[in-house]
Amino acid sequence: MADRYSFSLTTFSPSGKLVQIEYALNAVKQGVTTIGIKSANGVVLATERKANSSLLKSNTGSKVELITPNIGMSYSGMGPDFRVLVDKARKLAHTNYKRIYNEYPPVKILVQEIAKVMQESTQSGGIRPFGVSLLVGGYDEHSEQFQLYQVDPSGSYFPWKATAIGKTSNSAKTFLEKRWNENLELEDAIHVALLALKESVDGELTGDNLDIAIVSDPQDHLLGFKGTSVEGPRFKKLTAEEINDRLDSL
């Protein structure tokens, strides 16, 4: 960070605000709502996939992405900026961390690294801030715990039990505060996430306009081979059918 060629595009206003960061947050506020909920046995990340035309192909979801086999990431705000951060997060996880320690980083370490990238863009990277807030959900092998984090354009990050970002984040968070409790099972969490999204989405929820991923038990069948002692990834995207099943039971 802050190497000698870098410089800042973001300066303080008289009241001590960094306005480019505030404006970037407004870009986030214009994005569709994304929900993250942590439960006893897994994390769910759920968001709407805008399909304002029947001609838009629906089976190419990319709003919730796998970063490591046990960590997924979603966002509200500008899609192309999210893709840049997905690339960086994967690189940080694999090149910077896994190559050294021969294991994937814990969720918090990864979140701190991503947050550092986002902070740099507000002080020294010579670039505009990123126009996204992120939700990062994952599982830590060592602590055997599920984790859910939010990262903002300023580079601030927060650990959550459940939260929402984007257009209707305020009302969604109020809803989540009422519905979340320590005993929530993963299926309950998905249920709550769908209810929370229902408020913000115009029109009907379907498997085609939702992107939902979970981090829960190892999905050995996703490994593509058998008979080994290697655990499958815990990150798994729900198919349109799996989402529709849950929507039917709302």
Sheet with 71-77, edge to edge strand ranges: 65-68, 71-77, 132-140, 145-151
Among 84, 198, 199, 239, binds a second copy (CB under 8 A): 84
Smallest gap from residue 244 Cβ to a second copy (A):
19
Does the protein bind a second copy through residue 90 (CB under 8 A)? no
Among 41, 74, 75, 127, binds a second copy (CB under 8 A): 127
Please give the angle made by the CA atoms of 39, 42 and 43, to the nearest 5 degrees: 80
Does the protein bind a second copy through residue 7 (CB under 8 A)? yes
Contacts of 56 (CB under 8 A, 6+ apart): none
Cβ atoms of 92 and 84 closer than 8 Å = no
- Cβ closest to a second copy, residue 13 vs residue 249: 13
Smallest gap from residue 241 Cβ to a second copy (A):
18
Does the protein bind a second copy through residue 5 (CB under 8 A)? yes
- Distance between CA atoms of residues 184 and 181, nearest Å: 6
Does the protein bind a second copy through residue 78 (CB under 8 A)? yes
Does the protein bind a second copy through residue 30 (CB under 8 A)? yes
Place of tokens 């229902």: 198
Task: Please give the structure tokens belonging to residue 81.
Answer: 């900026």
User: Which range binds a second copy by CB under 8 A, 153-161, 184-192, 195-203, 208-216?
Assistant: 153-161
Chain center to CA of 169: 14
Give the Cβ contact number of residue 101 at 10 Å: 10
Smallest gap from residue 92 Cβ to a second copy (A):
13
Does the protein bind a second copy through residue 2 (CB under 8 A)? yes
- Cβ closest to a second copy, residue 55 vs residue 250: 55
Does the protein bind a second copy through residue 124 (CB under 8 A)? yes
- Distance between CA atoms of residues 71 and 103, nearest Å: 13
Task: Please give the structure tokens belonging to residue 66.
Answer: 């796998």
- Distance between CA atoms of residues 207 and 238, nearest Å: 9
Number of residues that make up the chain: 250
Among 8, 96, 206, 244, binds a second copy (CB under 8 A): 8
Does the protein bind a second copy through residue 23 (CB under 8 A)? yes
Among 162, 193, 197, 201, binds a second copy (CB under 8 A): 162
Does the protein bind a second copy through residue 225 (CB under 8 A)? no
Among 64, 105, 159, 195, binds a second copy (CB under 8 A): 159
Does the protein bind a second copy through residue 54 (CB under 8 A)? yes
Place of tokens 């989405």: 201
186-200 and 240-248 helices, crossing angle to 10°: 90
- Cβ closest to a second copy, residue 15 vs residue 228: 15
Smallest gap from residue 45 Cβ to a second copy (A):
15
